[in-house]
Every structure is written in structure tokens, then in C-alpha cells.
Structure 1
Amino acid sequence: MGLLLATVACERPVPPVTNEVGQDAFNLTTYLHEQRQKLETEQPMVLKSVAAQGREPEVVETPDIDWEDELAIFEQADLSRPALQEFYTRREQVLEDGAVAVEFTKLEDASTLVHYLRLIMAPDGRLKQLNARLQDENIIFFSNRVIELSTDSRTGDISSYQVEGVQKMIFGDTLRYEVKANL
């Protein structure tokens, strides 16, 4: 990563998210819907590997991807809804290349799915990268997933993504899995 040039804000409760010109913050759900429509139309070749329980990954190259299902986990990381803002601290950093890293960290007493979200936004406002940790837990189920999505620097379109996760049911074995895809 580039060096930190300036810190726009330090850890503080998150106000309604707006950028410096007063527009709404980056809406991940809208971005993913637009990407899904584009990917369904273009049907790019995707190199995808799936591994579970430490086994060798199963690798396939195919244009046949259910994009709604494939991108759903990333939609869960969208924190642009105002009702979610009170549960996070927000920190922004301007990076060496002019991009802005926006980090959301769950407040300790908040019961939210997204525990951490980091968006790197290009100077023109396009998404460059997303990193998040999603954790869900109740009396019968535990899930912890680390997700990452990267975009093409020229177009802002999705270029790769990965999900690493652990799931455990109270009466079942622990399942560890990893999914990686390159477009």
C-alpha cells in the first residue's frame, strides 16, 4: 500500500456518510447490481478455484456464473444505509496515489454482521478495492468470512474476488473453505 499522506479523520462515531462535496457515499449495493447486469450481458471467462477443508482446490474456467449468487456476499458488506452508521467508527486516509481508504470498524457493543470494512476509492470516486470481515453467530451457528474484491484500475469493473470462511453448526463439524475468482 502507498504511504499515508494525510489523515482526514480519526476514529470517531460515524456521521451520515457523505463525501466532501455533499454527495451520498459509495453505495456498494448499487455498484454490485450494475456490475451484475454488465457481467450477465458480457459473460466473461472466469477462472475460479474452490477449496474446502484443506483439500486441493478444484479449478474451473467458465463463463457460466450465477452472478447474483456470486456477488451476494459482497452486498452484505454495504454500510451506506444510514441506519447502520451509528454502529461503526469511520476513518479516512488519503493514500500516496491520491486514492482514499475508508475504514469502518464495528463498535464493541454493536451486534452487526460486518465487523470491518475497508474501501479504497480512486480519486475519481470509483471503487478500487474492498476488504471486509463478516461474522455471524447465534446459539446454533457460527460463520466468519473474510472477503476481498478488486477492480480494474482503468474501468472500475470487478477484476477478481475471494472469500475465505469458516462455518460451524452446533452439532456439526467445522467447515473451512476458500473461493477465488479472476475475470
Structure 2
Amino acid sequence: MKKLVYLLPLVLFFACQSPQRPDDFKAPYYDLKGYIDAQIIDLNRTKPLVRKDAIVNEENETLITQKIDWSKELELFVQADINKPAFTQSYFVDTLSTRTISYRLRKGENLPVQYMEVITDAQGKLEKIKATLLDKNYLFESERILTLESKNGRLSAYQIEGFQQLFMGEPKPFKVTAIVQ
């Protein structure tokens, strides 16, 4: 019985340890989250001037500012990252050219990112990413088309376009375009 008292805390300690991703996990897809995280650090440091144009329900608004919470601003792009161990067999990978790779969701998979296209320059630096996200359930449906452009490895523009629709309503289209100077 005395041995059990010493053994129980040890078993509980190891049972509560969370499994870690293996160090040898090779990312199968483009590391969008890594790119966005690096951009957030750079943009928070440099505080560039940004022009944002938003259209929501046919109402236009323009904002020119340097005060942007980049983590919140680019959160949807982080959510579009498909480079997760659980998704390794979820996408078809098509190499369209030496500079363009597309990822298409396999039939039967139920993930928000339906399609992603990554375009790089001759040196392998990101030029453009385009992704289509779809969320649908019995209460609502939304589609978002994300576009991100980069020059010399730095974020230069992004756009989020799509719609949201509640089950008893009309689609509400929106479009946000930002130019980073």
C-alpha cells in the first residue's frame, strides 16, 4: 500500500503531460502562420502608413492610419493556415509552375479553407497568397476570399472579400482592401 502512495503521484504527473509535436515533423504545406507572425513583428516595429477601404452593405469607408493592431488585423490569415499535423492528408497539392503551388481540399473533408494558392518570386520569397474559406451550418453561411500581396518579402497589400448570411436573411457582402506603404 505504501508503494502505491508513492506511485500514484508519479503516474498522475506523467498522465497530465501534454503530447508534443515531434521535432521531426516536416510541414507539408506553405507556412502561412510563420510568414504572418514574422510580418506582425515587422509591422509593429516599423508602424507603416496604411490605407484601408471598406465596403459593407454598399457603404464605403476609407481610413488612413498607422495605429493598427496587426495581430487582430491579420488574424483571419493566421486562421487560414493549413499547415497543421492533423491536415497532412486533407489537401491535394498541385504544382502549377515552379513559382505557384495550389492546395485544394479533398472531398469528404470538412475544413474551412477550401483552396489556397501560393505564388513566390524567383528567389522563393512570397509574392501572393489567395485563399477561399467557407463556413456553413444550419444558422449561417459565410465565404471569405483572402488575398495577400508581398514585395521583397514584406506585406504590401491585403484584401478580404465575401459575404455572411443568416439562415433567415439576405447575404451581406463585404470587402476590405488595405495598402501598406
TM range (shorter): 0.7 to 0.9
TM-score by length of structure 1 reads 0.79
1:3 equivalent in structure 2: none
Q: Which has the larger radius of gyration?
A: 2
Match of 1:65 among 57, 64, 68: 68
CA distance in 2, matches of 1:63, 1:43: 6
Taking CA–CA contacts closer than 8 Å with sequence separation of 6 or more, which of the two structures ends up with the larger relative contact order? 1
Q: What are the ranges of 5 or more consecutive residues in structure 2 without an aligned counterpart?
A: 1-24
CA distance in 2, matches of 1:105, 1:169: 26
Mean CA deviation greater in 136-145 or 76-85:
76-85
Matched ranges for 1:1-183 at <5 A:
25-55=29-59, 57-94=60-97, 100-152=99-151, 155-183=152-180
Aligned with 2:124: secondary structure? Answer: coil
CA distance change for structure 1 residues 50 and 91 in 2, over 3 Å: closer, same or farther?
same
CA distance in 1, matches of 2:135, 2:123: 34
How far off its partner does 1:172 sit?
A: 4.2
Equivalent pair of 2:28/2:88 in contact (CA under 8 Å): no
Paired AA for residue 49 in structure 2: M
Aligned with 2:88: secondary structure? Answer: helix
Q: How many aligned positions are there? A: 156
CA RMSD of aligned residues (A): 1.8
Pick the structure with more helix per residue. Answer: 2
TM-score by length of structure 2 reads 0.80
Give CA deviations for 1:9-31 in whole Å, capped at 9, x if unaligned: xxxxxxxx97xxxx865311111
Paired AA for residue 74 in structure 2: L
* Structure 1: 4+ residue segments shifted above 6 A: none
CA distance change for structure 1 residues 180 and 122 in 2, over 3 Å: closer, same or farther?
same
CA distance in 2, matches of 1:25, 1:178: 27
Percent identical pairs in the alignment equals: 28
Q: What are the ranges of 5 or more consecutive residues in structure 1 without an aligned counterpart?
A: 1-16
